[in-house]
Structure 1
Amino acid sequence: MKSDGEIMEILAAYDLTGSLRATAELTGCSHHTVAKHVTARDAGRPIGEPAARGRVTDAFLPKIEEWIEASKGRIRADKAHEKLLALGYTGSERSTRRAIAQVKAAWRLGHTRVHRPWITEPGMWLQYDFGDGPRIGGVKTILFVAWLAFSRFRIVIPLRDRTAPSVFAALDRCFRILGGAPTYVLTDNEKTVTTAHVAGVPVRNQQTLDFARHYGVTVLTCQPADPATKGGVEASVKLAKADLVPKDTNLRDDYRTFAELEAACTAFMDEVNHREHRTTRRKPAAMLAEEAPRLHRIPDTAHTVAFGLARGVPENTPMVTFENAQYSVPAHLLGARVFVRTHGTGPGEQVIIVHHGTTGPVEVARHERARPGSPAINDEHFPGTRAKLPGDYEVRARSADEAAFLAIGEGARTWLVEAAAAGTARMNVKMAEAVTLAKIAGTDQVDRALGDAALHGRFAHPDLASILNANIRRTTTHAANEATSLTQGTGAWAAIGNPATITTPEEAR
């Protein structure tokens, strides 16, 4: 086959000589080649295009087109070759593959979806979707990605799950970052938004309707299995995953805590929203400043579904149950309704409890994640109570005699507990004796004696009186002062060396 340059030389030589053979001699080719190119030029056909020849698959093209139409362009060439052999096809599998590829290309061209450029309006559309986030401590996370259509402003918020409280809390945060809410919110047909489809019409989740009514937005969903409907947020999800999820392509280290992932998402939003967008040639943050006045104002308080799952506080125990574990709340919320949700994942996961009262929502408790059977308790939530320990009994008088004995003091209470633990017999008699001794020797003395008896384990009948007498004798003490001294005197030394004087009984009388 001649090159384009050689063909141009042949045509130029023919125009110069007007003879096929002369041209052939000048260009070094056959006069038949010269005649072919000259005839093609005079007929207005593309010069140098090979002549069309019949193929072995031409007779079977209608059947091939039928199979590709029936399979929506998915039939494999090897399976089509097997079917052609049964119909008497004698060509090679390579010829079959070539014919299948050409027919498939033509079928796709006739069934391709034509996208019309979407001219967005400010303050009208917000799209959101989800992507798989990184694992933190072996726990999977979710990336919530929102995309404001007009300004191309992107928001990425890490979540622990895709439950309604988490999703609606993320949407509430989006509205507050943007400074308002758009007219429409577009997303997929998840159970948090659409419960079912009846005759192709989506049935909205009642919680979604309550949420939309609270913020004054209209929630719409795209057609099932049609991600092109919200292509803007789909592209944003791919971009966020490529940058935030640790991979070999970005060399990002694994996240140790959920707070590190939140910081990375904040840095990502700051970067993508302050660089020029390739479509608008403007920074999304600058365009958001123009779009913000078109967004309508949202309520100062979030919708209660964004606070978490509703839980009732029992009337006698300030504890709520969440995901098979118990968490304490302030005692003044007995009988009230609170909302519980989780924040973060991994080692730093927290359970947040919010109460929505007359003054608005207030966070009343925040606990670390508890395990079933091991409740998370804050002692400040139980005022006026004390921990009950085995063997720690509360001493309370149940009769007049017991009240009289306990009125002696702490020593009497200690003696009662220790004597009971030692299995002392006839305790009532000994307690009555102590009350009698307190009237004689004084309450303080008997209370001290009872404390000493409890300390040394002396619970026999005469022990209290013995200890009391010893304490009384020990009360006569000598103390040194400016007038007296505790040093032994020297007056006895005068008798040393002097004869002793013997006095008879008669002299004594």
Structure 2
Amino acid sequence: YQYSRFCDLYRQWRQQQKRSMRQQHFAGDKLFIDYCGPTIGVVDGATGEIRSAQIFVAVLGASNYTYAEATWSQGLPDWISSHVRTFEFFGGVTQLLVPDNLKSAVSKADRYAPEVNTTYAELARHYGTTVLPTRPRKPKDKAKVEVAVQVVERWILARLRHHTFFCLSELNTAIRQLLQEMNARPDSRMDELENPLGNSRNPHKVCSKPMTR
């Protein structure tokens, strides 16, 4: 090509590209939260009724270190309780909580000024963190947790699909065992992360604030 032709082709290519800002994640900065789409059935031993359990997923932005558990619903009591257990699992609290726009997290979704659920806001205030919901119809805002959800579905839920569980605690015990294996997978980025809490034994627990009830 001559240079002028190259410039024409380059301009055409550039016009077709979508502008996108790359997200940078720092240790102790953000915790992304969502639920898996698939559920797991839990059998009532007395009646034989099968009840679906929801799968809560939270992932640290910098390290991809993940927490998952089963709850009966995505309602506010389960949503809040899952957060408390998440903080206990990580051993601390991040600067920001980044949930999807489910009703337990956001009372009114808005691109610029979302209205956070009052109870959820009180939880964040108690733990000294801030809620920053993803923007509606902006999937890149929650790309981190979308990937974590996929990993949980493939690494944990797929391996439990032929198992029968008779109570929620039994299911969560199985999830926790597979979760440990999933988080133990080699990841070169882990060696580059520093733990602000000074816990050198577990570099995954990169939370900026100690856990307090």
1:124 has 2:29 as partner: yes
Contact 1:182 1:295 (C-alpha < 8 Å) held by counterparts: yes
> 1:504 corresponds to which residue?
none
1:262 aligns with 2:167: no
What TM-score comes out, normalization by structure 2 length? Answer: 0.77
CA distance in 2 between counterparts of 1:153 and 1:115 reads 23
Whichever residue aligns with residue 64 of structure 2, its letter is R
How many residues get paired? 192
List runs of 5+ in structure 1 lacking aligned partners.
Answer: 1-43, 46-105, 301-509
- Shift >6 Å, 4+ stretches: 106-109, 283-288
- 1:276 aligned onto 2:186: yes
Q: Any idea what SS the aligned residue of 1:221 has?
A: coil
Aligned sequence identity (%): 23
Please name the residue that 2:68 is paired with. Answer: 156
Distance 1:165 1:251 in 2: 26
CA–CA distance in structure 2, aligned partners of residues 205 and 119 of structure 1? 27
Q: Equivalents in 2 of 1:119, 1:176: separation in Å?
A: 25
Q: Deviations 1:264-320 (Å, cap 9, x if unpaired)?
A: 21112211211212x6265999988346575212333xxxxxxxxxxxxxxxxxxxx
Distance 2:42 2:124 in 1: 32
CA-to-aligned-CA distance 1:433-491 (integer Å, 9 cap, x gap): xxxxxxxxxxxxxxxxxxxxxxxxxxxxxxxxxxxxxxxxxxxxxxxxxxxxxxxxxxx
Q: Are 2:39 and 2:54, in contact at CA under 8 Å, matched by a contact in 1?
A: yes
Cα distance in 1 for partners of 2:67, 2:111 equals: 34
Quick check: 1:147–1:153 contact (8 Å CA) kept in 2? yes
Q: Does the CA-based 8 Å contact 1:122-1:291 persist in structure 2?
A: no
- What do the CA deviations read for 1:232-280 (whole angstroms, capped 9, x no partner)? 211111111123334xxx5841322233321221112211211212x62
Q: Give the Å deviation of 1:119.
A: 2.9
> Shift of the alpha carbon at 1:129?
0.7
**CA shift digits 1:132-158 (9 cap, x unpaired):** 321223221111011011222110111
Of 296, 307, 311, which aligns to 2:209?
296
1:324-374 deviation digits (Å, cap 9, x = unpaired): xxxxxxxxxxxxxxxxxxxxxxxxxxxxxxxxxxxxxxxxxxxxxxxxxxx
Q: 1:261 to 1:107 in 2, by over 3 A?
A: farther
Distance (Å, rounded) in 2 between the aligned partners of 1:154 and 1:126: 10
Q: Bigger radius of gyration, 1 or 2?
A: 1
Residue of 97, 103, 111 corresponding to 1:191: 103
Distance 2:110 2:165 in 1: 45
- Check the 8 A contact 1:245/1:252 in 2, yes or no: yes
**By how many angstroms is 1:210 displaced?**
1.1
Aligned equivalent of 1:114: 20
CA deviation digits over 1:175-200, x for unaligned, max 9?
A: 11111111101011121122114684
CA distance in structure 1 between the aligned counterparts of 2:144 and 2:99, rounded to whole angstroms: 11
Classify 1:252/1:237 alpha carbon distance in 2 versus 1 (closer, same or farther; 3 Å): same
* Aligned twin of 2:6: none
Cα distance in 2 between the residues matched to 1:198 and 1:280: 34
Corresponding position of 2:162: 253
Q: Does 1:135 align with 2:41?
A: yes
Taking the aligned partners of 2:201 and 2:29, their CA distance within structure 1 comes to: 12
Conserved? CA contact 1:276–1:282, under 8 Å: no
1:189-246 residue CA offsets vs partner (Å, 9 max, x unmatched)? 1211221146842112211111111111101101112222121211111111123334
Partner AA of 2:81 in structure 1: A
CA distance in 1, matches of 2:172, 2:206: 28
TM-score by length of 1: 0.34
* Deviation at residue 167 of structure 1 after TM alignment: 0.8
- Mapped contact 1:135–1:141 kept (Cα < 8 A): yes
User: Is the helix fraction higher in 1 or 2?
Assistant: 1
CA–CA separation in structure 2 for the residues paired with 1:236 and 1:287: 24
8 Å CA contact 1:129–1:146 kept in 2: the answer is yes
Give the whole-Å Cα distance in 1 for the aligned partners of 2:53 and 2:206: 34
1:239 is matched with 151
Change (3 A) 1:108 1:224: farther
1:391-414 per-residue CA deviation (whole Å, 9 max, x = no partner) reads: xxxxxxxxxxxxxxxxxxxxxxxx
Q: 1:153, 1:288 within 8 Å by CA — same for their partners in 2?
A: no
1:179–1:295 CA contact under 8 A, matched in 2 = no
Gapped runs of 5+ residues in structure 2? 3-11, 44-49
Whether the aligned pair in 1 keeps the contact of 2:134 and 2:142 (CA below 8 Å) is yes
